[in-house]
Structure 1
Amino acid sequence: MTQEISAPHARTFMTRRLGRLASVIAAILIVASVSYALGTFNARDTISRPDMSWALGSAAAIKISDLSISLEHAANAIRERNPKASEASLGKAYDYLGGLLAASVEMHIAKGDPLQPEFTNWMSDYRKFLGDSPDAIYSTAPIEADGEYEVAITTGSADYLGFVVYERNPIIGWNRAADSTSIVPDAENSVFRIRLTSESSDKTSQSKKLDTVLGESAGSTEISEGAESALSILSHDDVSGFRMRNIGSNSQQATLKLSASSHLIMVREYFFDSEPRQPSRLTIKRLRTSATSIAGLITQTGTPGQDATSFETRAENAVNFFNQTWQGSLALADALKETTNSFDRPATVSPDFVGIFYPTPDNDYHGGSFSLAPGDALVVEGEVPVAAFWSITLQDHWMQSIESNGEPASLKGSEITNRQGNYRVWISDTPPPEGEDWLNTGGASEGLVAIRYLLSDQAPAPTARLRTLNSGSNDTAQSASEL
């Protein structure tokens, strides 16, 4: 009797529990659905363009807006240039802008305080600009013109390190070298220090002895203030001998002079051999703050001695660098189209224009643009330079080195055949005649050719001309023999 009564009660109890569980599950699903819907709505709302009034009254907010607008303006300008561009083409252009923006933010915002300077490695797998070389590492740090700094270098496996202080042209604002020096280390983990100063000094400290940079065995020849570099002074000798010079002591000191408009130091590390590549360890320390900077800090913070450059100043520098770089790269590519498939200088390019691209006194630069139909080749010919290092690099019109389908973007001088003091390199997507040196465009029909002669002994400029690569072996062999 008891068992017959308890069974219905048990069933009722279980039914009630299941009903409550179902209600809880339903409530959870409703809350989750509402939360998802609200989250989706909020996410869409987050990326919608706000009214510009949000930035009014704040210099920092306006600069953030300027940076955002600069990216959008650049993307719009690129699409307006070619409204029918493919998604793949646009994606490549936007990859370039994204990498350039990342470099601009790191270089000028995150590490852009000349009172607390840090080095930025410009190039990486995802960012290339301003004519990078696959054989070099580029590092920069901001400086103030009337400050004082010390750069400490512990060398890696680089064969050559060049240091250039850049100033702004007072008329056009473009970059030019204010002072420079260089190091040819004889071993890894060699330690060097370079002092950057705007202070005037007597003749003894203004002249640098070669043994400061190259070691005691280099002698005591003096280098006058403002000289391009110790190595460039001696580059009219047998440059190949520099690699064999003994640095001497494991701690060397040099001095670079800061001009009234100096704003940046760049370190270029060149690797003459392919592997391994161990970057140098670079640090920069501010030794003295200018009176102008101290006054500015007190005005901004009300507290003397607090090291900080305002965000709006750093962000403005990032905006300027971003816009000048992409616009300058396009302007140069457009100008070079006037002399396509030759290395003639376009009439519309001023010699000062190269200041946008941070030129170095250590290099002689040559090159131009190419435009190739299927089966065409641009044949580059020149006299093998007496140089510490030289290379020929393919770039796209964004001045990025291109490596298509795993093919190298560059040939070093050591990889190019010396033909009785001359060289010849074919640039094409079709293999050249047997025995010829070749840079494969990987199917790219247009681009740039950049040639660097490092510490060259005034080598004549190379030339380029268009050739046709025929499918028949006899024709191609004849074309090669005619060159």
Structure 2
Amino acid sequence: MTTNRTQPAITRRQLLASSTGLALATGTSATLSGCASIATRVAATSAPEAVRPLIHQMADPAAAVSSGEAWVAFCDALKPLARHVTGPESLGDLQIQTEGIRCLSRLVSLGLDRFLEHGDPRHPAFYDLQTATRKYLGDNPDQTYRGVAIEGSGTYRIRANAAGAAGVEIGLYAGSFRSDEADESGGRRLVDSLDETALSIEDDGSFEVRVGRDPVGSHDDDGARPGNFLRLEDDANALLIRTYFWEQELRENHSMPLIERLDVEEPAPPVDPATVLRGFIATAMFIDGSLDWWNHFEGIKTGRNELIVMPDDGAVQTPTLVQYVNGQVELERDEALLLEFHPGEEPGYWSWVLQNMWGETPDWRDRPVVLNNQELERAADGTIRIVIAHADPGLPNWMDMSGHPRLLLSLRWRGETALPEISTRTVGASGLAALRV
């Protein structure tokens, strides 16, 4: 039996500084950007070699599409990406590699959805970044993640709903997940943000937000309450709404936000060859950069059944202060990992989440892989014990390894109060039996 305490902090900003992220030509967000002008500058970036044939086709998009070579070049650009999920980071484990290939296919779907189907900031529409079958670099089943492409010159109105939510965060971003010695932030920048403490929300949970250069202007009568405003800057390119729920049913039925651009009247034009090529280029580079970033991120995980404190500085991931405790869980079939702590002065929402080695939760629709603060059973003195095991141990607060010998574990602590002291113990069958007495 071993007992470990959380280790010293490592920030996500430091992780990003050591990684090689995306090189989207526009300099826009690698994760949530539009790609309306990618063609004009993409050749000047350090694009992966496999993507360059697509870039060269931008000289004559019509010919590339009519000949079918656009699709061939796109498929060729995807082929080398398998190295990210079958290389050393997969530990030579067939299960990890299998889930890695599935992860790759999911990222293809996500990239096309973002950059081709929803890549026009003049005619924006929200899309799902995370679902039960689409998971991107550390999903939380208690949250909906809705993204949209915007641009710094626009004026937008958003209508959304947070009924029954534990919290809502709206982040306006610029830049991308790229990193070099000159930019330790990873290139992504939080331009402006709102959360439930600053938003004016109606009794039914509905709210409107205006996004633009100035809160007072030609569209100041659009119905948004004073204060529900996000200020654009020239390089702003993406907006993300994160909504937290304690109940899975509310999360699954959460309505999609609506957005309209107030300074554009004409409808969206038919898709053209250049738009298709831009979407292909951005998708291939998005996948390459995302998996490269993740593999650097994953490399700092601790040893077996240990935890590290890794607070988020706010600019990279979330608008409000979310503190993280991360680690790896590796268990034999007859072992369990016990987490024991007292939450102390706890925030309104926090949760523990299990994920595979690619940052994807096992199927949370029928397995207990996430537990939040309203679901957990507590002892009379407020102490909490979580049991992570391969099978239901007949104890409260079980989290399911879901057939995996190893998983990642993450605590999201959504608030500024101090993280709890967390003790971990690895126990065998006899240790579990003793807990049932």
TM-score (norm 1): 0.63
Q: Determine if contact 2:191/2:236 at 8 Å carries over to the other structure.
A: yes
Which of 293, 303, 306 does residue 328 from structure 1 map onto? 293
Matches of 2:359 and 2:189, distance apart in 1: 19
Bigger radius of gyration among the two: 1
**Where does residue 297 of structure 1 map in the other structure?**
none
Paired residues for 1:137-216 under 5 Å = 137-154=144-161, 157-168=164-175, 171=183, 173-183=186-196, 187-188=203-204, 190-199=205-214
Q: 1:70: how far off?
A: 4.2
Q: 1:111: how far off?
A: 0.6
Identity score, percent: 19
Moved more, 324-333 or 169-178: 169-178
Q: Determine if contact 1:165/1:177 at 8 Å carries over to the other structure.
A: yes
Paired residues for 1:309-458 under 5 Å = 310-311=274-275, 312-336=277-301, 338-344=302-308, 355=316, 358-384=317-343, 385-403=345-363, 406-419=366-379, 420-432=381-393, 435-454=395-414, 456-458=415-417
Number of corresponding residues: 356
**Where does residue 268 of structure 1 map in the other structure?**
242
Cα 1:472/1:413, change in 2 over 3 Å: closer
Query: Is 1:280 the counterpart of 2:255 in the alignment?
Result: yes
**Where does residue 86 of structure 2 map in the other structure?**
79
Matches of 1:375 and 1:56, distance apart in 2: 56
TM-score (norm 2): 0.69
Paired residues for 1:229-248 under 5 Å = none
Q: Determine if contact 2:308/2:325 at 8 Å carries over to the other structure.
A: no
Q: 1:143: how far off?
A: 1.1
Q: Determine if contact 2:339/2:425 at 8 Å carries over to the other structure.
A: no
Name stretches of at least 5 consecutive residues in structure 2 with no aligned partner.
1-51, 177-181
**Where does residue 104 of structure 2 map in the other structure?**
97
Matches of 1:388 and 1:54, distance apart in 2: 48
Name stretches of at least 5 consecutive residues in structure 1 with no aligned partner.
1-51, 206-249, 290-304, 479-483
**Where does residue 109 of structure 1 map in the other structure?**
116
Matches of 1:397 and 1:54, distance apart in 2: 31
Higher percent of residues as helix: 1
Matches of 1:67 and 1:103, distance apart in 2: 15
Q: 1:395: how far off?
A: 0.5
Q: Determine if contact 1:117/1:284 at 8 Å carries over to the other structure.
A: yes
SS across alignment from 2:299: helix
What's the RMSD between the two structures over aligned residues? 3.7
**Highest RCO, 1 vs 2 (Cα 8 Å, sep ≥ 6):** 2
Q: 1:325: how far off?
A: 2.0
SS across alignment from 1:344: strand
Moved more, 467-476 or 109-118: 467-476
Cα 1:267/1:405, change in 2 over 3 Å: closer
SS across alignment from 2:254: coil
Query: Is 1:129 the counterpart of 2:103 in the alignment?
Result: no
Residue identity opposite 1:286 in structure 2: R
**Where does residue 16 of structure 2 map in the other structure?**
none
Q: 1:110: how far off?
A: 0.9
Residue identity opposite 2:424 in structure 1: R
Cα 1:53/1:98, change in 2 over 3 Å: closer
Residue identity opposite 1:109 in structure 2: L
Cα 1:200/1:268, change in 2 over 3 Å: closer
Q: Determine if contact 1:113/1:314 at 8 Å carries over to the other structure.
A: no
Cα 1:83/1:470, change in 2 over 3 Å: closer
Post-superposition CA distance 1:20-45 (Å, at most 9, x none): xxxxxxxxxxxxxxxxxxxxxxxxxx
SS across alignment from 2:191: strand
Q: 1:171: how far off?
A: 2.5
Query: Is 1:460 the counterpart of 2:419 in the alignment?
Result: yes
Matches of 1:323 and 1:196, distance apart in 2: 31
Matches of 1:103 and 1:464, distance apart in 2: 38
Residue identity opposite 2:115 in structure 1: H
Residue identity opposite 2:188 in structure 1: N
Matches of 2:187 and 2:328, distance apart in 1: 23
Matches of 2:129 and 2:93, distance apart in 1: 28
Residue identity opposite 1:261 in structure 2: D
Q: Determine if contact 2:159/2:259 at 8 Å carries over to the other structure.
A: yes
Q: Determine if contact 1:153/1:191 at 8 Å carries over to the other structure.
A: yes
**Where does residue 14 of structure 1 map in the other structure?**
none
Cα 1:200/1:271, change in 2 over 3 Å: closer
Residue identity opposite 2:258 in structure 1: T
SS across alignment from 2:429: coil
Post-superposition CA distance 1:104-128 (Å, at most 9, x none): 1011111111111111112233221
Q: Determine if contact 2:57/2:70 at 8 Å carries over to the other structure.
A: no
Q: 1:148: how far off?
A: 2.2
Q: Determine if contact 1:393/1:410 at 8 Å carries over to the other structure.
A: yes
